[in-house]
Amino acid sequence: MNKKKELHHHEILSKERQLYLKGRQKRKRLIMTTQILILLAVIVIWEVGAIMGTIDSFIVSSPSRIWRTLLNFRNNQLPFHIGITFLETMIGFVLGATLGIFIAFTLWWSSFLADVMAPYLVVINALPKIALGPVIIIWVGAGMQAVIVMALAISLVVTILEMLSGFVNTDAEFLKMARTFHASKLQIFTKIVFPYHLHTLFNCLKINIGLSLVGVIAGEFLVSRAGLGYLIIYGGQVFQMDLVMTSVIILAVLAALLYGMVVLIEQVVIKMFFK
Amino acid sequence: MKEVLKFEGVGLTYQTISGEVKALHDINFSVRDKELVSIIGPSGCGKTTVLSLIAGLVKPTKGQILLNGKEMKGDALGVGYMLQRDSLLDWRTIRSNTQLGLELCGKLEDNHLKNVDKLLKTYGLWDFKDKYPRELSGGMRQRVALIRTLAIKPDLLLLDEAFSALDYQTRLLVVDDVYNILRQENKSAIMVTHDIAEGISMADRVIVLSKRPGSISQDIKLDFKQDETPLERRSSSAFQSYFNDIWREFDRHE
């Protein structure tokens, strides 16, 4: 069978096939070039506009000013604030995921409990969690803990609902199969239900990492001690738009990197799982 | 000959929100050692319920079920159940899938594992042991599911429409295949199907169930040549006459 594959690989491609592949390649390159051009155009227009005075760089900053703010990291402590936001997001994310899965597991285990909790979960899920901000600060204190609880509040309920609806929708035929071998409920969960929903889990984590970041920034707005959220609020108050815009751009990059991290973990885990 | 299974006046009524459903009524039959029995009936007649009862997934509300002469209590060890779909786990290799049954009932011992490997070799799946289910054809997947069931060394096998998910040609071949395996491994089996021809082709005996509440309307002993395969049986004259008998019975109840 392997030999067949190799043969196929070394086969001389037909002219049509070569043309087709070339076309695909060309399109891919074109998309990437356009993407880079758009980015460059925005930067150039922004910068030229700022120099010419058509754009007020005091209000919208400018690429060169953002660049200078980035280089000035020793004085404005950018790395420290990035670190704080990253740390808070990670703690909130990991806590939200583990707690969420655990609670979803408990509710899967006891359908009675799940039915009892259903309306509460729906209401809590619909509630804009930001409204809890002041309450959280009073309950746990205005520090990193409040920011983490905020991140948790935003990501936890979604995780529970997503995972639970996955778990309870496991194909009944698989469950019957397991029951014919007299599997225990725990075995059914660990050997069938959980691995069956590995993809659901990672889809959930991909949403969660973004939600945790939202929670952390909202928390930092309120607590105002440290982190990128704090820099944005602080910069806005003292009208240092360079700092605000720099923080926003760093935040965008951070969000993309965190998402990429989850995708990477997914690939590793799936590969390990399917060997 | 030894009786592996005996139903004595078994009835089952279950409750749903919309009312009480009488699924089975006064079922009496027995299965002898190494006997292959088909249960045929219209859909919704409670065929699958009969198997669920034997597997211990459901309790009868009337009568009793004897397994190897003893009344069934709790889990029915010694019964292997094969479902309509193969339910192989995508993320496990073929070998690991065939070991799943042992794993779930806590029998992952060396001699059992060796037996699984032997079954894989005997039934032509050894070369595929490290492949994943999606790389196998429907017929092969069904054979893997059968080995997963045989691994727990059941005295009695239950097959619930085990071939209906396959296309017609594959199905005829897999029926032959499974029939040979059952004979070779000296198993007793109960097969449930809505396909009269399939039921006749595989069994020593056919039990016909009536519409709900299911009760036995016919219990026919089949008489075919000793080593005729299901496929060969289909073209024999005896086959046609059994088919017509059962068909008439079906018609009467419709």
Widest CA span in chain A: 78
Name which of A177, A191, A273 is nearest B87 (Cβ-Cβ): A177
Residues of chain B found within 8 Å of residue A172, distances taken between Cβ atoms: none
Where are the alpha helices (H) located in chain B, listed in sequence order?
Answer: 47-55, 94-98, 100-104, 110-122, 138-150, 168-184, 196-202, 230-234, 237-253
Q: Which of A109, A150, A158 shows the shortest CA–CA distance to A132?
A: A150
Q: State whether ipTM is beyond 0.90.
A: no
Q: How confident is the model at residue B1 (pLDDT cuts 50, 70, 90)?
A: low
Number of domains in chain A: 2
Where are the alpha helices (H) located in chain A, listed in sequence order?
Answer: 2-10, 15-52, 57-60, 63-71, 73-76, 78-109, 111-126, 133-140, 144-168, 172-180, 185-187, 194-196, 198-223, 228-237, 241-273
**With left for phi above 0 and alpha for psi between -120 and 50, is residue A230 left, alpha or beta?**
alpha
Please tell me whether residues A97 and A40 are part of one structural domain: no
Answer whether residue B250 is part of any domain.
Answer: no
b (16+ CB within 10 A) / e for A198-220: bebbbebbebbbbbbbbbbbbbb
SS3 B74: coil
Answer whether residue B20 is part of any domain.
Answer: no
Q: What is the CATH number of the domain that holds B107?
A: 3.40.50.300
Please tell me whether residues A99 and A134 are part of one structural domain: yes
How would you write the pLDDT of chain A (275 residues) with one tens digit per residue? 444 444 455 567 888 889 999 999 999 999 999 999 999 999 999 999 988 988 888 888 889 899 988 888 888 888 899 999 999 999 999 999 999 999 999 999 999 999 999 999 999 999 998 888 889 989 998 889 999 999 999 999 999 999 999 999 999 989 999 988 888 999 999 999 999 999 899 999 999 999 999 999 999 998 878 889 999 999 888 888 888 999 999 999 999 999 999 999 999 998 887 76
Answer whether residue A61 is part of any domain.
Answer: no
- The minimum CA-CA distance between A192 and chain B, rounded to whole Å, is 8
Answer whether residue A261 is part of any domain.
Answer: yes
Answer whether residue B40 is part of any domain.
Answer: yes
Answer whether residue A201 is part of any domain.
Answer: yes
- The minimum CA-CA distance between A181 and chain B, rounded to whole Å, is 6
Residues of chain B found within 8 Å of residue A274, distances taken between Cβ atoms: 91, 132
Please tell me whether residues A203 and A108 are part of one structural domain: yes
Q: What is the DSSP secondary-structure string of A183-243? A: --HHHIIIIIIHHHTHHHHHHHHHHHHHHHHHHHHHHHHHH-SSSHHHHHHHHHHTT-HHH
Residue B238 lies in domain: 33-57+73-203+223-243
Residues of chain B found within 8 Å of residue A170, distances taken between Cβ atoms: none
Residues of chain B found within 8 Å of residue A5, distances taken between Cβ atoms: none
Please tell me whether residues A151 and A33 are part of one structural domain: no
Residues near B229 by Cβ (< 8 Å), separated by ≥ 6? B176, B179, B180
- The minimum CA-CA distance between A179 and chain B, rounded to whole Å, is 8
On whether the CB atoms of residues B214 and B49 are closer than 8 A, the answer is yes
Answer whether residue B118 is part of any domain.
Answer: yes
Angle made by CA atoms B101, B102, B108, in degrees to the nearest 5: 155
Answer whether residue A63 is part of any domain.
Answer: no
What pTM was estimated for this model as a whole? Answer: 0.83
Number of domains in chain B: 1
On whether the CB atoms of residues B100 and A191 are closer than 8 A, the answer is yes
The reported pLDDT for the residue numbered B59 is: 86
Residues of chain A found within 8 Å of residue B85, distances taken between Cβ atoms: 173
The reported pLDDT for the residue numbered A5 is: 45
b (16+ CB within 10 A) / e for B209-244: bbbbbbbbbeebebebeeeebbeebbeeeebeebbe
Answer whether residue A62 is part of any domain.
Answer: no
Please tell me whether residues A28 and A98 are part of one structural domain: no
Q: What is the CATH number of the domain that holds A180?
A: 1.10.3720.10
Please tell me whether residues A42 and A91 are part of one structural domain: no
Answer whether residue B24 is part of any domain.
Answer: no
- The minimum CA-CA distance between B216 and chain A, rounded to whole Å, is 25
Using beta carbons and an 8 Å cutoff, which residues of B are at the interface with A?
A: 55, 57, 75, 77, 80-81, 83-85, 87, 89, 91, 93, 100-101, 103-105, 132, 152
Determine the Cα–Cα distance for residues B66 and B81; give it in Å rounded to an integer.
17
Instruction: Name the token pair of A214.
Output: 């939202």
Residues of chain A found within 8 Å of residue B100, distances taken between Cβ atoms: 181, 191
Size of interface A-B (CB pairs under 8 A): 44
SS3 B37: strand
The reported pLDDT for the residue numbered B253 is: 61
Answer whether residue B16 is part of any domain.
Answer: no
Name which of B83, B105, B132 is nearest A182 (Cβ-Cβ): B105
Residue A98 lies in domain: 70-273
Name which of B84, B91, B104 is nearest A181 (Cβ-Cβ): B104
The reported pLDDT for the residue numbered A3 is: 44
Closest residue in A to B107 (Cα) is A181
